[in-house]
Amino acid sequence: MGASREERTAGTTAAATGRLPEQSRGTGRTVPAGAPTAGGQDGPPAAEQPDTGTGRRRFLQALLVVGVGAAAVGGAMIEDVLPGGDRLRRAIGMTGPDGTVPAVEPGPVRTDQLASKARGRRVEVTVVSPPGTAPRADLPVCLALHGRGGSAAALVDLGLPQFLAAATAKGVPPFHLVAVDGGEATYWHPRTPGDDPMAMLLDEVPGWLAARGLAAPTGVLGISMGGTGALQYARARNGGLAAAALLSPALFTSWSDARPVDAYQDEADWQAHEPLRHLDRPLTRRLAVWCGTEDPFCPAARTLADRAAETHFPRGAHTDGFWRRVLPDATAFLGEALARRP
């Protein structure tokens, strides 16, 4: 969905196989037929009897120690006492429950195809409104930015209309969500010549909204690649946004991390547009971050903690299921924050 599913891999498990070694049958010295043995019975001398019981016990004890040790190490990794727990939990599916789309009737959803000069193509613009309302200027507007490989339609499929309807039914102040096509893998900046989705957001979207009786955006929701775009947009607005909610933001703490993803043209492009390189600039009056601990982007997302009003790092991966699980809280945060006066 909005997913960049740029990266990841699984943890480590050690397995040992073995079989009981064959017991050697030493025959000892030759005993004449009918002669008594040292043990008083027919057979090999007592000193030469193979001790099969002791060998088996030692093998089973060693196997038990290995099993207990492996379980202890695995448990410590799962609980983050030892490194590698996130990879192990992803591998065995310990990433928390998937969220579901609320079973409610959504409000109005209007989609238009508009020509974007900034992007050099036609794009879809979708306005999601709360139930019982029509697009109108007295409600706040929040942009919704999709992830890599996504689109405005993908955010509708994720359930944004239903999550907004469920939130307002519970008393969250109403607002409009506006989703727009930002490109397959643009990371919401001019990744290729002639395609500048950030210029579209800044220079074209306000006019499109005004023509539909809507106010200019005062908030932004970003998922994955859209989280990167949300922070870039907030920086371009120079702290003028009321709120930003980031879900699993695709942030890169180093060029070596960003380079394999092909999100930026080169290191200079990454330096210029990576939000973590510009945290000295104003962002937004209220920032909230959600990212799963099994998400490869979680360490980078944690670096925003001292800039955010809220941070949430529960068990979770970089998936639609995680985003649906946290969207009720993110939608409530945005509604309350957008309703506040500066």
State the pLDDT at residue 185: 95
| Residue boundaries of the structural domains of the chain | 52-83, 109-339
pLDDT band at residue 340 using 50, 70 and 90 as cut-offs: confident
pLDDT in tens, 15-31: 333 332 333 333 333 33
State the pLDDT at residue 322: 98
Query: What is the arithmetic mean of pLDDT over 228-251?
Result: 97
The CA distance from 181 to 188, in Å, is: 10
Residue 39, number of CB atoms within 10 A of its CB: 12
> pLDDT higher for 6 or 295?
295
**Beta bridge partners of residue 141, listed in sequence order:** 176
pTM: 0.76
Q: Comparing C-alpha atoms, which of 96, 115, 144 is closest to residue 244?
A: 144
Q: Report the CATH fold assignment for 109-339.
A: Rossmann fold (3.40.50)
Three-class SS of residue 97?
coil
Six-digit token string for 11:
């943890």
The CA distance from 107 to 166, in Å, is: 10
Query: How far is CA 229 from each of CA 226, 247, 336, rounded to the nearest angstrom?
Result: 5, 12, 22
